[in-house]
Chains A and B, each alone.
Chain A
């Protein structure tokens, strides 16, 4: 069984978000990292970039697969996990912790309602 922590919300395309004060963090789920296999490369936007809910914001690659990353919500990138550039394996080892990808300042709060709850996401992956 894959880990699906209750403290966050999910996207059908396997990204997660957690809210931490004014900002939200984004990463990919345990299920997603397992499907991909050993992650070898992560491409992320730059700090200051604007991203839009539903759009691609980056790419994660394993040896034999490439997956686009979709933005769960819109906002401005305030931090990027630069550790992933040298150690993409963090996505596999700790997808909900050190394997986080972006920190955003959301541009609206409505979009959170469109995300999946942990239960809903669990159903989807079963």
Chain B
């Protein structure tokens, strides 16, 4: 497939900044609405008309790749198609209510939240779910706070969280944010949890083990029941990072594997759009014993209707209000659209797609059997360069150089939404880039709006606003 990304350029820049199109300074509050010393003197912002803005943002949109333009196989990110109708559902004006409304006047909103709590609990094999955390990392933090509250309530002061080296960076950061020391666990030679190392790492200081399953190489932790027993015997809890849950829908549930706490990543598994980096949502599920620690409020169904309630020993709040409502609505709509059979089929096709794609690649995939994603290696070619070259084929490249267990890793997750033809295009892009000359790799990309961007200069000389550009040029 031939590809040329849209490219609007002029002189030494692409589409001009809003501030380059107009910069208007207005005097503030010369009518004396407030005493002078309470107001700013002036404000300078672009003052453009609506047609000018429409053109500006449409041009910017054309200089942006998205999953509706082509495959986006970023490993661990689950870039699925986001069903259009979910946007319309979320835009329902009746759903636009303020969080401080009294319960009885927003029974529709609470009803949806309640059903989503229940459905997620069922899908994950958990007993209770909070929808408040606004992203996966916030879910992790919430989950670890719950673990902490649980241990503290038992007078059990524990200081460590064990995390496999292959885990996502947020796991480490969330554990540290909650005040824990992180014990990093090496992988065994098969790419899974090293049971001996785990045994050595577990102690009476272990508050929890955080695991992603399948892990970030797409491998199922086959010893999960043994792992669960080891952690539980030592009095620790088992935490499930739900980023890779798209691999297991309808076939295995974290609750059945011995996990006590999990987060769901609805902007991955349940197809809500990533919006260029967010918003997402990271609901957290727990087993019965931990339900009393969930954040407040929860939605409960009573004879009188739906009510917000505070769990008995709640950890309190993890978001100012109820989390990312619009995202939750879209996830609800997606789950209801697919139902049992659709969810389970999504996983089957996601796993089939990953395996088919891998079978078409000239790159080696050192670890398996994998599920919805795999870590190929570009061997002696720089994975970041291969990725840049892939852009020229009109596809988004995979996640590169992570997890570190695989050298020159290209962590690839096509998701269920690609058809065979698209996977063939993707495989072609991989193979052609991988086989290309050093020069082609180093000068790539050449078909994108911008050419290779100098990361070093961006970091050595940070220019983080249009105001800062003026200083410099």
Residues of A participating in the B interface, judged by any CB pair closer than 8 Å = 38, 40-41, 61, 63-64, 88-89
Contact = CB atoms under 8 A, between A and B. Distances in A.
Contacts of B456: 38, 40, 63
B388 to A, nearest CB: 14
Nearest to B455: A63
B459 interface: yes
Interface string B454-471: 011001100000000000
Nearest to A41: B459
B261 to A, nearest CB: 30
13 contacts: A38-B456, A40-B456, A40-B459, A40-B460, A41-B459, A41-B460, A61-B459, A63-B455, A63-B456, A63-B459, A64-B401, A88-B460, A89-B460
Contacts of B460: 40-41, 88-89
A63 B401 CA distance: 13
Given A40-B459, A41-B460, 11 more contacts: A38-B456, A40-B456, A40-B460, A41-B459, A61-B459, A63-B455, A63-B456, A63-B459, A64-B401, A88-B460, A89-B460
Nearest to A87: B460
Contacts of B401: 64
Contacts of A63: 455-456, 459
A89 B401 CA distance: 24
A64 B455 CA distance: 10
Contacts of A40: 456, 459-460
Nearest to A89: B460
A88 B459 CA distance: 11
Interface string B424-467: 00000000000000000000000000000001100110000000
Nearest to A61: B459
Nearest to A37: B456
B50 to A, nearest CB: 39
B227 to A, nearest CB: 31
Instruction: Name the residue in A40, A41, A61, A89 with the highest tally of chain B Cβ atoms < 10 Å from its Cβ.
Output: A40
Contacts of A64: 401
Nearest to B460: A40
Instruction: Name the residue in B401, B455, B459 with the highest tally of chain A Cβ atoms < 10 Å from its Cβ.
Output: B459
The 9 A-B pairs of least Cβ separation, nearest first, read: A40-B459, A38-B456, A40-B460, A63-B455, A63-B459, A40-B456, A63-B456, A88-B460, A41-B459
B231 to A, nearest CB: 30
Interface string B413-430: 000000000000000000
Nearest to B401: A64
A121 to B, nearest CB: 24
Contacts of B459: 40-41, 61, 63
A86 to B, nearest CB: 9
Contacts of A38: 456
A41 B455 CA distance: 13
A63 B460 CA distance: 9
A63 B459 CA distance: 7
Contacts of B455: 63
Interface in B344-373: none
A31 B310 CA distance: 57
A67 to B, nearest CB: 15
A88 B456 CA distance: 11
A40 B401 CA distance: 20
B432 to A, nearest CB: 26
Contacts of A41: 459-460
B38 to A, nearest CB: 39
A41 B459 CA distance: 8
Contacts of A89: 460
B407 to A, nearest CB: 14
A85 to B, nearest CB: 11
A41 B456 CA distance: 10
B168 to A, nearest CB: 16
Interface string B387-423: 0000000000000010000000000000000000000
B462 to A, nearest CB: 9
A40 B456 CA distance: 7
A61 B459 CA distance: 10
A38 B459 CA distance: 10
B328 to A, nearest CB: 34
Nearest to A38: B456
A40 B455 CA distance: 10
